[in-house]
Structure 1
Amino acid sequence: MIKPVAAIALALFSLGATAAEHQIKMLNNGKEGMMSFEPSFVKAEKGDTVKFIKVDASHNSASAVLPAGAAAWKGKMDEEIIVPLTQEGVYVYVCDPHKTMGMAGVIQVGKPVNLDAAKAESDKLSKSFVMNKDRLTKALAQVK
């Protein structure tokens, strides 16, 4: 009885040990300019997490486009939030108060199964930006 329990425990531990935590900073000024997430594109695997790090005040992270079955999120202002990446596909997120300034980013989890839908929704979203209008297009161009 002990051997099967030990094998199950080892298998569960191995699953948790392979998951990665990706960190994304919420910034007033970054490598990509004003009001940005850094990095603006992250490639991850199913089971990984993303931690949105508060560097500058007055930012949040909220999902805008998700693959089927993924849970939406909306962090509070100035809150660091950890988002589990449970489904393969393309995730697009924004900072609510700076969305019109193009503060947005992209996460690819595994295969980009919803890429066409994510591009279509991102095009609509980008039309509401008053600056950084090409930020989502550049981030989505990195999806492979």
Structure 2
Amino acid sequence: MNKVVPAILLALFSIGASAAEHQIKMVNSGKDGIMAFEPAFLKVAKGDTVKFIKVDASHNSASVVVPAGAAAWKGKMDEEISIPLTQEGVYVYICDPHKTMGMAGVIQVGNATNLDAAKQESEKLSKSFVMNKDRLSKALAQVK
């Protein structure tokens, strides 16, 4: 009996320890051009957290597509936020002040359960971009 309790505690700790934190930078200029999230596409495991990092001023992160049952988010200007991703699927997000410049990205959590809906919504969103019009389609092409 004395060996069972430590084994259970170790198992519970291991479950919590398996969740990872990933970072997405909000930049004025980067490898994908101006006004970008780096990386523009990120695949993570269910239960992981994504932290949006302020590299340059005047950016935020706001979800525009989330899977059924997932919580939407909207960070304040210049706010670094951490988003726990507890639902599988495709998440599409933007920077509100730079949306028309195509500052958008995609996170895939586990299986892409809502890929068709994410593609449809992203196609509509991309029509409002005045530059970087293919940024979302390139990010969505990486979803598997």
Which residue does 1:82 correspond to in 2? 82
Q: Does 1:41 align with 2:41?
A: yes
What is the 5 A alignment of 1:44-83?
44-83=44-83
Q: Report what 1:101 is aligned to.
A: 101
- Aligned residue pairs, count: 144
- Identical-residue share of aligned pairs (%): 82
Query: Which residue of structure 2 lines up, in the alignment, with residue 92 of structure 1?
Result: 92
Aligned pairs for 1:4-15 (under 5 A) are 4-15=4-15
Mean alpha-carbon deviation: is it higher for 121-130 or for 12-21? 12-21
Residue 70 of structure 1: how far off its partner (Å): 0.6
RMSD: 1.0
Q: TM-score, normalised by structure 2?
A: 0.96
Q: CA deviation at 1:127?
A: 0.5
1:31 is matched with which residue?
31
Unaligned runs of 5+ in 1: none
How much does 1:6 deviate?
2.5
Per the alignment, residue 124 of structure 2 pairs with 124
Which ranges of structure 2 fall in alignment gaps of 5 or more residues?
Answer: none
**1: distance between equivalents of 2:2 and 2:79?**
43
Question: Is 1:142 the counterpart of 2:104 in the alignment?
Answer: no
In the alignment, which residue of structure 1 is the partner of 2:22?
22
1:8: Cα distance to partner? 3.0
Rounded Cα–Cα distance in structure 1 between residues aligned with 2:77 and 2:131? 21
Is 13-22 or 56-65 further displaced after alignment?
13-22
Give, in whole Å, the separation in 2 of the partners of 1:76 and 1:3: 48
TM-score (normalizing by structure 1) = 0.96
Residue 87 of structure 1 aligns to which amino acid in structure 2?
Q
Deviation of 1:20 (Å) = 1.0
Distance 1:7 1:30, change over 3 A: same
